[in-house]
Amino acid sequence: MEMDAQDSKHQIALLIERQRYAQAASLLSDTLAKYPDDADLLYSTALIDYLMRRKEAAYETLRHLLTRTPTHVNGRSLMAQLHEDRNELASAEALWLELLKEYPESGWLYAKYAMLMYRAFHIAKARALAKEALRLAPESEDALIAHLLGQLIAGDRAAEKDSLAELIRKHPENLATMHMLVTHLSQQGKYVAAKRIAIEILRLQPDSREALTLVVELEHVSHWSMLPLWPLNRWGWAASGGLWLACLIALAFLRKQAPDILDMATTCILSYVAYSWIYPPILKRWLMRRAGL
């Protein structure tokens, strides 16, 4: 009987790893019927619900699991994640700290806690946690990503490049690595290159709405008709402020020096401003519809 349960658990874990959630759920329900109180099976049920975005069901299952087995490590980790998704950050923190006190050498837990601190705007603490995560687990993808995020947030370009190179070297085919690469390239204004990586992500996850949305958004900013808006996309509202100042000086110059072409210059500037406000949302809507979103 025990072998049967262990075999089933192993198969369920493999199916989950291969994202075959429906099959895993079917096998799980058969096994749970025989062993309804098995903590690992309950955790797998919650995990499948979570991965299939049935978060309320996952939450209820985890509550039931942790009432019966309050020390279940994976259960508490997933519950912490659910708390974060429900914006209950203090509750999430309490769980991560509880786990860290039990497993103080776990780089993965430090990385998860760092991500929570980034979300809660405790940036300095998050960076320190990420550094500790990397010290404890230098090969861990989560630790590398937590560390890299700190550098992206701080705008430390040189360190960001080195950390990204290390992440690619150690985890070249992981989705999370590809997402970080897309983020890095987008921040540099290299939208075409970022789009290529996003397309690869979509190939690996063809059913993912998020991956498709990412590709469409990058196609939007890299579209040929958006080229005149590249500075505004690259530097955001600072570019808008700079553009306004340049126009202010240009118009003041023309008023004094060449008043007869002032009207034409004003029309050009207003046309560019109108184009920058009206055209991008229209293009985005069209691209989204074309992609079926």
Partner 1 sequence: MQDNLLVPSLSNKRHNVGLYSVRSSFLVAFFGGPIAQILYSTLNSYRLKRPQDSLFYLGAIVLSCLLFYFQIEGGLAVLTPLVDGLLDENHITRNLPRLLALLIWGGAYLLHRNFHRSAQLFNMPAPNPWIPALLCMGVGYLLSTVIFSALAKAL
Residues that bind partner 1 (CB under 8 A): 87-91, 93-94, 97, 100-101, 104, 110, 117-123, 125, 128-129, 132, 149, 152-155, 183, 236-238, 240-241, 244-245, 248-249, 251-253, 255-257
CB of 154 to partner 1, least distance (A): 6
CB of 111 to partner 1, least distance (A): 12
- 58 or 109: whose CB is closer to partner 1? 109
The dihedral built from the CA positions of residue 138, 142, 147 and 152, taken in this order, carries a sign that is positive
Q: Are 273 and 279 in contact (CB under 8 A)?
A: no
Alpha carbons 96 and 143: distance in angstroms, whole number: 15
- 253 or 286: whose CB is closer to partner 1? 253
Alpha carbons 283 and 278: distance in angstroms, whole number: 9
Alpha carbons 104 and 102: distance in angstroms, whole number: 6
CB of 113 to partner 1, least distance (A): 8
Q: Which of 61, 52, 67, 1 is nearest to 31 (CA)?
A: 1
- 16 or 201: whose CB is closer to partner 1? 201
Which alpha helices (DSSP H) does 18-122 contain, by range? Answer: 21-34, 39-51, 55-68, 73-85, 89-102, 107-119
- 174 or 240: whose CB is closer to partner 1? 240
CB of 36 to partner 1, least distance (A): 34
CB of 251 to partner 1, least distance (A): 6
